[in-house]
Structure 1
Amino acid sequence: MTTATQTPKRSIQMTDASLNQVIALREKQGTDLCLRVGVRQGGCSGMSYTMTFEDPSNIQESDEVDDYEGFKVVCDRKSMLYLYGLVLDYSDAMIGGGFQFTNPNANQTCGCGKSFSA
């Protein structure tokens, strides 16, 4: 796993690999978007991670916002209860590649790594 960028302290940590991948995906959208990370009910372990691009004008005052040199990662307050300290990584491996979530709040994680229980 690549190391997460540590300065300044952020609620959701992104490794260089995940940040580069998200920025590359955003550029394909052709507009300046932020990344919203959250949780929802579902998945094999009870809760699953969500990631979507959205317009920065949708950021709410109650949202937690982490700034990565101009790129914003946003999380709603309820999801942050489950995601504080999350490390988001990315691997381009042919098997098991994609975004990977290392969540210190998860009691159990499913085999695919995309859902958890807390």
Structure 2
Amino acid sequence: MITLTEAAAKRALELINKSEDYIALRPGVQGGGCSGFSYTLKLSDAPEESDRVIESAGVTIHVDKKSYLYLMGTQIDFVTEDLQSGFRFINPNAKRTCGCGESFSV
């Protein structure tokens, strides 16, 4: 399962509701980054045929099967620190993360 904190759900709904085209959040994993994999996060207009469709805190999440394997158990948070804000992945499957927290290895 992938879950959203209250702050992440609130921000995701703000972004989704700003557009008539998007209905869900799409977290993912791609190769790259200094630790091997990097996180992606986009808005989704429809699920792909092989996507898992999850609901968390009132937000629909579309995630492809490959990414789901790496993101099972992950919590997505939205944080504001000093002059920066953004989504943060808290992934129990990550064995190592880079200093900036944007990439990981399993």
Specify the alignment match of 1:6 in structure 2.
none
Matches within 5 A, 1:1-118: 11-56=1-46, 59-68=47-56, 71-94=59-82, 97-118=85-106
Deviation at 1:115, TM superposition (A): 0.8
Alpha-carbon shift at residue 31 of structure 1 (Å): 3.8
Q: Distance in 1 between matches of 2:81 and 2:101?
A: 15
Consecutive unaligned residues of structure 2, counting only runs of 5 or more, are none
The letter of the residue matching 1:66 is I
Instruction: Tell me, in whole angstroms, the C-alpha distance in 1 between the residues paired with 2:56 and 2:98.
Output: 29
Task: Tell me how many residue pairs correspond in the alignment.
Answer: 106
Is there any run of 5+ residues in structure 1 with no aligned partner, and where? Answer: 1-10
| CA displacement at 1:60 relative to structure 2 | 2.9
**TM-score by structure 2 length?**
0.88
AA aligned opposite 2:70? Y
Q: How far does residue 88 in structure 1 lie from its aligned partner after superposition? A: 0.4
**What percent identity do the matched residue pairs reach?**
43
RMSD: 1.8
Listed one character per residue, the Cα deviations across residues 44-91 of structure 1 (whole Å, up to 9, x for unaligned) are 2110001111212xx134211111365310111111111000010111
Greater relative contact order (Cα 8 A, min sep 6): structure 1 or 2? 2
Q: 1: distance between equivalents of 2:5 and 2:54?
A: 13
